[in-house]
Amino acid sequence: MAQQSSTLTTSLTSPGALNSAVSSPRTAAEARALYLKLFSGEMFKGFQNNAIARDLVMKRTLQNGRSLQFIYTGRTTAEYHTPGNAILGNTDGAPPVAEKTITCDDLLISSAFVYELDEVLSHYDLRSEISRKIGYALAEKYDRLIFRALTRGARAKSPVLKTNFQEPGGTQIRVGNTGTNASDAYNANHLITAFYDAAAALDEKGVSNDGRVAVLNPRQYYSLIQKVGDGGLINRDVQGAALQSGQGIIEIAGIKIFKSMNIPFFSNYGTKYGTASATNPGITDPSVESGDFVDVAMEDARNSVAGINNDYGQASNFANSCGLIFQREGAGVVEAMGPQVQVTSGDVSVIYQGDVILGRLAMGADYVNPAACVELYAGTATPPAQFGTVQTATNNAGYQ
């Protein structure tokens, strides 16, 4: 008896398919349209930058006032006593005294409105993620203003302007030997030489060894990481995964090293991909497509801009800046209001059926002791010029 073959077909029920999807056969996107799209918080966290500047400089709380005063005391002299003469103080009136005032900028805010229905429908913690982003935005701004103030200090004279007295000002060090090669900023050997020059300059200007730090662009930092075993850069107790994660460098010439995307770097924040040339310190990488790089242009932050009462300069002031080395006395931060998060509630929430999440702070920053500030620059044979209010006097106003 011959066996007959038959083909059985079924009508498939697709619980993930949207009922409006009628194509036959359904595409993968149509068949799975209703399945949950899982949220990954790590996707956001991977892009965050660490806020580091607040703990590396002098921070003061401002209460019942609009500005904070820092007093400078210059050097005094020794002189021989003439027998019979009364001792009534040095004849030159030493030590000279000056002041530096840091004003609080206007209230800095970052906010978002969260609609209550969106929260109900959302499958992830919407408020905590938004709050975290607001905190990151404030911290990023905080760092950027401090680093700009330190750069300004590295170009400044001492505030002590008394006639016939010389007090040390800031320091500017060129990275590399060629005056116009901006790509020297990524050269580990040139960076190491600049570190030792900076340490010597700080020693010569009487700056304390305690609290000396450097902040570099990430690509500069990782360029140094690759100099394993050279110049004592690598902590021999930190190896393996810790070294690969970029935590292997401890110090150069007693200067602890940090990396940040918030330092002034050739008029930008971050690293610019592109065609490397003598004047463009871009990193040539054929695997990186246009638009894949972080290249945030610096905003105008002069004291003529609404809300800003200290002068942090404009982008053109940082056209050749490529790193900072400083001691904690280099800059000061005054806080009238530390970072805070506020959320509306009550009648406001009822009227708008949602809440405003607000982050706020009130701070101001400026250089304090120029002698404690060192700017690294490249791509020019001439040190970057001062900006903002320039100290002037008829006598020698200090040396750099």
Residue range 149-185, pLDDT digits in tens: 999 999 998 887 777 777 889 999 999 887 778 888 9
Per-residue pLDDT band for 399 (boundaries 50, 70, 90) equals very low
How far apart (Å, rounded) are the C-alpha atoms in residues 59 and 151? 18
* Highest mean pLDDT, choosing among 90-94, 123-127, 166-170: 166-170
Q: What is the pLDDT of residue 39?
A: 46
Q: What is the mean pLDDT of residues 128-152?
A: 88
Tell me the whole-structure pTM to 2 decimals. 0.79
* Percentage of the residues of the chain whose pLDDT score is greater than 90: 26
Displacement of CA 21 from its chain's centroid (Å): 50
| Residue 295 predicted with pLDDT over 70 | no
Q: What is the mean pLDDT of residues 117-141?
A: 79
| Residue 290 predicted with pLDDT over 60 | no
| Residue 43 predicted with pLDDT over 50 | no
Cβ burial of 235 (10 Å; 0-12, 13-18, 19+) is middle
* Percentage of the residues of the chain whose pLDDT score is greater than 70: 72
How far apart (Å, rounded) are the C-alpha atoms in residues 394 and 335? 35
Cβ burial of 72 (10 Å; 0-12, 13-18, 19+) is middle
| Residue 93 predicted with pLDDT over 80 | no
| Residue 374 predicted with pLDDT over 90 | yes
| Residue 59 predicted with pLDDT over 90 | no
